[in-house]
Amino acid sequence: MRVQKWTILCILVWVGSGRDSCFPFNLAFTSLKFSNKKVIIWDWNGTLLDDVGICVSCMNEVLSKRNIPQLNAERYRDIFTFPVKDYYQNAGFDFEKEDFEKPAMEFISLYYKAIHQAKLFSCIESVLTSFQKKGLRQLVLSAMEHDNLVSSLKSKGIFNFFSEVSGMTDHYAHSKLEIGQALLAGESSFKREEMLLIGDTLHDLEVALELGIDCVLIARGHQSKERLLKETDMVFDKLSDVADLI
């Protein structure tokens, strides 16, 4: 079922031209919806970290070794999905010829050599600081392997913003649901309606729905805005658009 952002309310007023005018109160009602949030759960890749470029570059190196057509960013965002094994198949890998783990580890090796090139999205530190000053508890829930996740957060200088950081036990990014359940088990003093997950993929939305928490998606990461909007209205172009409502 498609998740609705809000019900648009309008007031019809009479203006001099004799036409009716309709004023949507989207932002007001969305802000009201978010005003009770006490816990922000962040995705990492594609939400805080702008790593699509290196993901495409590293994957193209793996593809080229197999004479499989390469990707551009647009194609990448159209086919990337979870579990990532499905994404590899979408990209053209044939797992009857080789096991998924082989190209996956080739990619991972290249990715971690290049991750230092990836930057935080603009305004990330100011948003994290703003949320911290508001007393919001901030967590990270990521499909990245846990130790590498911690290392990446520290290298970007933002690790100390987060009360808890939770990554995967392996490199294969099957699903974040199980680690999400474990993460929230440690947050039992908060109600689920007081939590908000901020991500960039439909998997983030799926995980949030399973966990019973709200979710917003930022359309500048690993999946296209068009794909996101097919499943939810809670899609924003910039993180600052969300931050202004909390």
DSSP helix/strand/coil, 74: helix
Residue 140 near residue 166 (C-beta atoms within 8 A): yes
In 3D space, the residue among 105, 121, 101 whose CA is nearest the CA of residue 113 turns out to be 105
Question: For 36-49+119-243, CATH number?
Answer: 3.40.50.1000
* Per-residue model confidence as pLDDT tens for the chain (246 residues): 565 554 333 333 333 334 333 333 345 545 556 889 999 999 999 999 999 999 999 999 999 999 999 999 999 999 999 999 999 999 999 999 999 999 999 999 999 999 999 999 999 999 999 999 999 999 999 999 999 999 999 999 999 999 999 999 876 656 799 999 999 999 999 999 999 999 999 999 999 999 999 999 999 999 999 999 999 999 999 999 899 888
Q: Given this model, what pLDDT does residue 9 score?
A: 36
Q: Given this model, what pLDDT does residue 245 score?
A: 86
Q: Given this model, what pLDDT does residue 31 score?
A: 59
Q: Are strands 137-145 and 39-42 parallel, antiparallel or unpaired?
A: parallel
Other C-beta atoms lying within 10 Å of the C-beta of residue 215:
22
